[in-house]
Amino acid sequence: MTAIRTARDRARAELTQEIKAEARRQLGEHGATQLSLRAVAKELGMVSSALYRYFPSRDQLLTALIIDAYNALGDAADAAVDPAAEPRARWQAVCRAVREWARAHPHEYALIYGTPIPGYQAPPDTIGPAIRVALLLAGLVAEAFATGSLVLPGPDATPLPPALEAQATALGRQIGTDVPPLVVTRVVVAWTQLFGMISFELFGQYVGGMDPAEPFAAYVTDELADYVGLRSPIPA
Amino acid sequence: MTAIRTARDRARAELTQEIKAEARRQLGEHGATQLSLRAVAKELGMVSSALYRYFPSRDQLLTALIIDAYNALGDAADAAVDPAAEPRARWQAVCRAVREWARAHPHEYALIYGTPIPGYQAPPDTIGPAIRVALLLAGLVAEAFATGSLVLPGPDATPLPPALEAQATALGRQIGTDVPPLVVTRVVVAWTQLFGMISFELFGQYVGGMDPAEPFAAYVTDELADYVGLRSPIPA
DNA sequence: TGTACATCAGTGAACGCGCGTTCACTGATGTAC
DNA sequence: TGTACATCAGTGAACGCGCGTTCACTGATGTAC
């Protein structure tokens, strides 16, 4: 990043943040597809063309919002991890933090985990921020595996068909772990379940059924910890 | 519904369908929030005000599309059920059909399972169509339970906390089954996993990881059948 | 420290476009007798 | 079967609005000497 030295640089950095903050605020009113540069500028007391000094196009503003959202979620997840805690407790803390962030920022959540914006192509620099939570969850499991505390699937577990085994092996290698492919697959299942559950909750699918979703969410993350092999605390 | 007797009635019914078909087609190009009555009318060679003879507003057209999408998915799921098959095979057939319908109609899927349209309030007559798949899945489990073939969770399963137990009991009663609340909860988990997985696949979250998702999807629906207690076929 | 010049933020008008919805109308289709 | 009237589909103009983006410009801030 550029060093901030002059008053001009400082003003520029501040206004860039203010533009993003106002855009974030307006996401909630009309959704990402309707995000309007003119409306953002008006709210900030500027003329719409002035925004082009900060973002070269509407899509680039969207990209900045997307990256910020992934990073805000990633930061919230990271912050929930107590390094002194057991892996299972950390797993649950991460799941809880992810859900809480999503509930506190539903429109930013929808921006990154909802329907893709038609005509918008996410640039490659969104990838890193996008996979932070998945990597964090996988890392907890990998660590438990490395220290020998991971409960591996028993012999009665459904074995992976060859195509999936190959994919899971490649994926494990890609994220730098030697966790067995069956466990890698289970982490993907758990990651999917976590976000599927949050999406269903925020998008209204549980209304009239599992609503409020708090007890359900707590139960599910618990089951998921078992499923990936993070040991239950010894019962009292 | 009104009986169709005159040429006028027939033309009206046909054009209503054509409007919805064209609107569905345009969903894919610009997304639901951007669905434009003027563009639909133009494509059909009509003037935009003519659409108001068929749908009193844009939102009512959207509602019709939403109900149609839920019903098309519900029909696809129903059609996948072979009444002669075992419950487990039917479960897998439904899961497969749901995923296939979603892949074949990604924009209609996004319309009903993606980000809610800002400012749009779904009217009550969307509820019935919306819960068809969940009811179908729950029905398969209920039937297996009624005939005694359901494998109930063992004593080592995580028991439900009281708040969730109450919700799951109420939900079971609501859908008219006496399946134990723990199993009701598992059906909700499985339903969530199925759609969470499809959303992740269609919305691009598996790209670079579990992509293509076909082997993963097949494996997951298999695991889900075990999880809700639908018996595995006897191994050869 | 002072001056000349370069850089940059923000303005305001304009381009060309699209939107949902209303309204008075024309002409075709259907109905009652 | 023929006629008078009612119903309805579709037209075209208009209302009032918002959009992203470009461009020549003014005036303030920063830099080099």
DSSP characters over A124-182: GGGHHHHTHHHHHHHHHHHHHHHTT------TTSPPPPHHHHHHHHHHHHHTT----HH
Entry field: residues in chain A: 236
Q: What is the pLDDT of residues B24-35, one digit of tens each?
A: 999 988 899 999
**Residue B236 pLDDT > 60:** no
Q: What is the pLDDT of residues A29-68, one digit of tens each?
A: 888 999 999 999 999 999 999 999 999 999 999 999 999 9
The CA–C1' separation of B106 and C18, in angstroms, is 26
User: Can you tell me the distance from the alpha carbon of B120 to that of B60, in angstroms, rounded to the nearest whole number?
Assistant: 10
Which of A33, A115, A192 has its CB closest to that of B200?
A192
Which tokens in the block code for residue B11?
């033309």
- Confidence band of B1 (pLDDT split at 50, 70, 90): very low
Which tokens in the block code for residue B93?
């057939």
Q: Which of A168, A151, A129 is nearest to A225 (CA)?
A: A151
User: Can you tell me the distance from the alpha carbon of B233 to that of B213, in angstroms, rounded to the nearest whole number?
Assistant: 24
Question: pLDDT digit of tens for each residue in chain A (236 aa)?
Answer: 456 678 899 999 999 999 999 999 999 888 899 999 999 999 999 999 999 999 999 999 999 999 999 999 999 999 999 999 999 999 999 999 999 999 999 999 999 999 999 889 899 999 999 999 999 999 999 999 999 999 999 998 999 999 999 999 999 999 999 999 999 999 999 999 999 999 999 999 999 999 999 999 999 999 999 999 998 766 54
The region that residue A119 occupies, defined by phi over 0 for left and psi between -120 and 50 for alpha, beta otherwise, is left
Count CB atoms within 10 A of the CB of residue B138: 24
CA atoms within 13 A on the CB side of A16: 15
B17 touches strand C (CB under 7 A): no
3-state SS string for A100-127: HHHHHCHHHHHHHHCCCCCCCCCCHHHH
Q: What is the pLDDT of residues B50-79, one digit of tens each?
A: 999 999 999 999 999 999 999 999 999 999
Scan for tokens 């920022």, then name that residue.
A105
Amino acid symbol at B224 = L
Amino acid symbol at A142 = A
Does a cis peptide bond (omega within 30 degrees of 0) precede residue A212? yes
CB A122 within 8 A of CB A63: yes
Q: Which of A225, A235, A179, A201 is nearest to A99 (CA)?
A: A201
All protein residues with a CB under 7 A from any atom of strand D: A 5-9, 35-39, 48-49, 52, 57-59; B 8, 11-12, 15, 45-50, 53-54
**Residue B231 pLDDT > 90:** no
Chain B nearest CA to A120, separation (Å)? 10
Q: Which residues on A lie below 8 Å from B32 (Cβ)? A: 115
Q: Would you tell me which residues 54-93 of chain A have a C-beta closer than 8 angstroms to some C-beta of chain B?
A: none
Interface test with B, best of A70, A126, A151, A210 (most B CBs within 10 A): A210
CB A100 within 8 A of CB A87: no
Q: Which of B189, B95, B222, B230 is nearest to A161 (CA)?
A: B222
For the range B18-26, what are the long-range contacts, defined as Cβ-Cβ under 8 Å and sequence gap of 24 or more? B18/B44, B19/B44, B19/B51, B19/B54, B19/B55, B19/B61, B20/B61, B20/B64, B20/B65, B20/B68, B23/B61, B23/B65, B24/B65, B24/B68, B24/B107, B24/B108
Q: Which residues on B lie below 8 Å from A203 (Cβ)? A: 113-116
